[in-house]
Chains A and B, each alone.
Chain A
Amino acid sequence: MSKEAKNYIVHGATGDWEIVVGLEVHAQVTSQAKLFSGASTQFGSEPNSNVSLVDAAFPGMLPVINGECVRQAVRTGLALDAQINKFSRFDRKNYFYADLPQGYQISQFAHPIVGEGEMLVELEDGATKSIGIERLHLEQDAGKSIHDQHPRYTLVDLNRSGVALMEIVSKPDMRSPEEAGAYVRKLRTMLRYIGSCDGNMEQGSMRADVNVSVRRPGEPFGTRCEIKNVNSVRFVMQAIEYEARRQVDILEAGGSIDQETRLFDPNKGETRSMRSKEEAHDYRYFPDPDLLPLEFDDAYIEEARASLPELPDAKKARFVKDWGLPDYNAATLVGEKESADWFETLLDALRKGVDSPVEKLAPKASNWMLSDLYGQLNKAGKSLSDCPITPTQGAELLKLVFDGTISGSASKEVLEEMLQSGRNPADIVEEKGLKQVSDTGALEAMVDKILAANPAQVEQFKAGKTKVVGFFVGQVMKESRGQANPAVVNEILMRKLAE
């Protein structure tokens, strides 16, 4: 069923190179309060207002874990088909930086809450690929340093300090920028379905550290570089492309790759060494003595599992199997929970109004939504979230097409008007006189008239050139000023020509 992913090759002067990519995605857990304190996680608050004495690391303050963050990590692990560890532990990762007041980050090193799992990603050409998940662990976010607002100082805001993050580490299973992009998009979709992270990369709720290395096909892994804090899917892909080319150029010139941390500069589209951290990291992890191990039982895991919604893969399979949607349509619709929900409501309403099997309704409804509706929304610079019409109104419009009241082309005009005015389709059809003529008597008269006026074409038809039917249909449509029902016209024409 699934096609193999295509090989992505970097063509060097001395031959071909393969790239190897692994991703560490930091996803902010959706929660009211922070991982170990009762301060708010609200984005965009006044600097240092969402900070407790725990987050600012005042002496003697003790961390207490937020149960919701644990639950969301477990739910995310379950959605990634991963091993859930009933025993995990928090460690201190020690390093100095101005926006890390504790001097260490509380993280999970030796015993993460979630172990190995996997996720299926869809690629452009319809191929799918399974990407391994190495682990998922909980950790604290750091504060924010602002370097360019003051001539002498770096300004530090601790509002983010202590916010819960899930670090989701993939296996080095990706072989192209496209696969990495598809992985990040799929992960974002999954997190949004689950509701464990809002996936908002612009606000920094989700960001990726990208590990890239190159090798000759079939050879062992090369030395990798880590590109830190990349904050969009497009940048992830650009950074990989640039970095792979850079490494190939160095290797082909006889050089070697330094294992290092790099930054991606979106303006220049290049990666740069972070020279300020020239010293090799030595985090000196050890178990955090302020925290006991994190433990729960099977019942807790099952409760988390029961709270999961239908996930995108299952939803897509259902759309295809039960409703006969084309693969592409199903994949596009489930890409965002919002569009999948919109479509389900649309189809629901349509099935109530039209007595036709769902396998007939659903594919047409999905085509309408993806091309007509999305096309017009795009043109107006809008997205589904600010769509002026409801799915029920969409179903009313489609119902008029299905029962032959209006033609498919007239429905586009009606939709345009609906999107502008938010009015109901039936009123618009009435007002604009867009109703199709399905009255057989009237149409038969029109057909007779056209046939009588075009004896040469009738002769052609009788001589076996059946294609001229198209010409007759066109003439009748013209005669009716576009309001004839083409299906009915066709039927009458075939009957009369056969006489």
Chain B
Amino acid sequence: MSVDKATVKRIAKLARIRIDEDRLDPMAGELNNILDWVEQLSAVDTDGVKPMTSVVDHCLHWRADEVTDGNKRDDVLSNAPDAEFGFFAVPKVIE
């Protein structure tokens, strides 16, 4: 598996990360190095091995249906660059 310049450009856009044009080729190289390194795993014979979902042998913890949280609007909005009337205020999303 390898990525090219166009792929890097596309995934950067999907992830909303700006990468300058002259950084695309070097980035493709770096990503390919990582992928190649992980690719070594394919040397292992995994026939009949079930996919592992976690490294710890735990079960999913279930919560009771109770309201235990909320009512902290100021905390929730504290990091927002802008807020109006208790709402997050973001640049107008054009519809």
Contacts and interface: CB of A to CB of B under 8 A. Distances in A.
A and B form one complex = yes
Interface string A456-470: 000000000000000
Chain A CB within 10 A, most for which of B58, B61, B76, B84: B76
A284 B14 CA distance: 10
B77 A152 contact: no
Interface in B68-95: 68-73, 75-77, 79, 82, 84-95
A430 interface: no
B60 interface: yes
B31 to A, nearest CB: 15
B92 A154 contact: yes
Q: Nearest 10 pairs between A and B by C-beta?
A: A38-B68, A68-B65, A155-B87, A38-B69, A39-B70, A52-B69, A156-B88, A153-B89, A67-B62, A292-B60
A89 interface: yes
Contacts of A52: 69-70, 72
B17 to A, nearest CB: 11
B54 interface: yes
Nearest to A145: B93
Given A32-B65, A156-B90, A40 B70 contact: yes
B66 interface: yes
Interface of A: 31-33, 37-40, 46-54, 56, 58, 64-70, 89, 94, 96-98, 145-147, 150, 152-158, 276, 282, 284, 287, 291-295
A94 B14 contact: yes
Contacts of A58: 79
Contacts of B95: 147, 276
B18 interface: no
Contact of B85 (A40, A47, A89, A292): A47
Chain A CB within 10 A, most for which of B64, B87, B95: B87
A287 B53 contact: yes
Nearest to A35: B63
Chain A CB within 10 A, most for which of B53, B73, B88: B88
Contacts of B87: 47-48, 146, 155-157
Contacts of A294: 60
A51 B66 contact: no
Contact of A292 (B54, B68, B79): B54
Given A49-B86, A51-B76, 12 more contacts: A46-B73, A48-B76, A48-B87, A50-B71, A53-B69, A64-B61, A66-B62, A66-B63, A154-B90, A155-B89, A292-B54, A293-B53
Contacts of B85: 47, 155
Interface of B: 10, 14, 16, 53-54, 58-73, 75-77, 79, 82, 84-95
B1 to A, nearest CB: 15
A40 B84 CA distance: 22
A157 B84 CA distance: 11
Contacts of B72: 51-53
Nearest to B89: A153
Contact of B16 (A39, A40, A96, A157): A96
Contacts of A37: 69
Chain B CB within 10 A, most for which of A33, A69, A96, A284: A33
Contacts of A155: 84-85, 87-90
Nearest to B57: A292
Nearest to A39: B70
A292 B92 contact: no
Given A40-B67, A292-B54, A153 B91 contact: yes
A295 B88 contact: no
B66 A38 contact: yes
A282 B14 contact: yes
Chain A CB within 10 A, most for which of B62, B64, B65, B76: B65
Contacts of B73: 46-49, 51
B53 A56 contact: no
Contacts of B69: 33, 37-39, 52-54
A276 B94 CA distance: 7
28 contacts: A33-B69, A38-B67, A38-B68, A47-B85, A47-B87, A48-B77, A48-B87, A48-B88, A49-B70, A49-B71, A51-B72, A52-B69, A53-B69, A53-B72, A64-B62, A66-B64, A97-B93, A153-B84, A154-B92, A156-B88, A157-B87, A157-B88, A276-B93, A276-B95, A284-B14, A287-B53, A292-B59, A295-B59
Contacts of B88: 48, 98, 155-158
Given A49-B70, A147-B92, A155-B88, A38 B63 contact: yes
A33 B61 CA distance: 16
B77 A32 contact: no
Contacts of B90: 98, 153-156
Nearest to A87: B53
A32 B67 contact: yes
B93 to A, nearest CB: 5
Contacts of A40: 67, 70
